[in-house]
Amino acid sequence: MARFKNPLRHIKLVYKRSSNVTKIVVLCAIVICTAALLILGGAIRDAEARTDALKAQASRLEQENNRLSALIDSLGTVAGIEQIAREELGLVDPDSVIIDPS
C-alpha cells in the first residue's frame, strides 16, 4: 500500500493576539446584533398582541354575522314579517282592537 504524503504536515500555525481595532469591531458587531434582537423581539410581541386583538374582533364579527343570518332567515317567515310590521311600521292586525290610553 502506498503512503500518501500530507502536504500540510510541515505547516505550523501561529496564533497572534488580535489588534485593538479588531476587538472594537467585534464588540460593536455584538452590540448591534444584540440591539437588533431586542428590537425584533419587541416587534414580535406587538405583532402577537395585534394578532390576538384581530382574532377577538373576528370572533365578535362572526357572532354578529350568525345573529344577522338568523334574523334574515326569520324575515322570510310570516311571523317575522308581522313582527317587522308591528315594531317598525306601527301596523296592526285588522282583527285587533287598539285601546289608546291617551
Q: What is the pLDDT of residues 14-50, one digit of tens each?
A: 777 888 899 999 999 999 999 999 999 999 999 999 9
Side chain identity at 40, as an amino acid letter?
L
What does the pLDDT read at residue 45?
A: 96
- Using CA atoms, how far residue 78 sits from 14, 73, 81, 92, in Å, is 96, 11, 5, 14
Q: Which residue has the cell 423581539?
A: 41
How many whole angstroms separate alpha carbon 38 and alpha carbon 32? 10
- Percentage of the chain beyond pLDDT 90 is 47
CA 17 to centroid of chain Cα atoms? 49
Q: Is residue 80 part of a domain?
A: yes
Q: Is residue 8 part of a domain?
A: no
Residue 11, pLDDT > 90, answer no
Count of structural domains, the chain: 1
Domain range for residue 47?
20-87
Residue 54, pLDDT > 80, answer yes
pTM (predicted TM-score): 0.51
What does the pLDDT read at residue 2?
A: 57
How many whole angstroms separate alpha carbon 60 and alpha carbon 53? 11
Q: Is residue 72 part of a domain?
A: yes
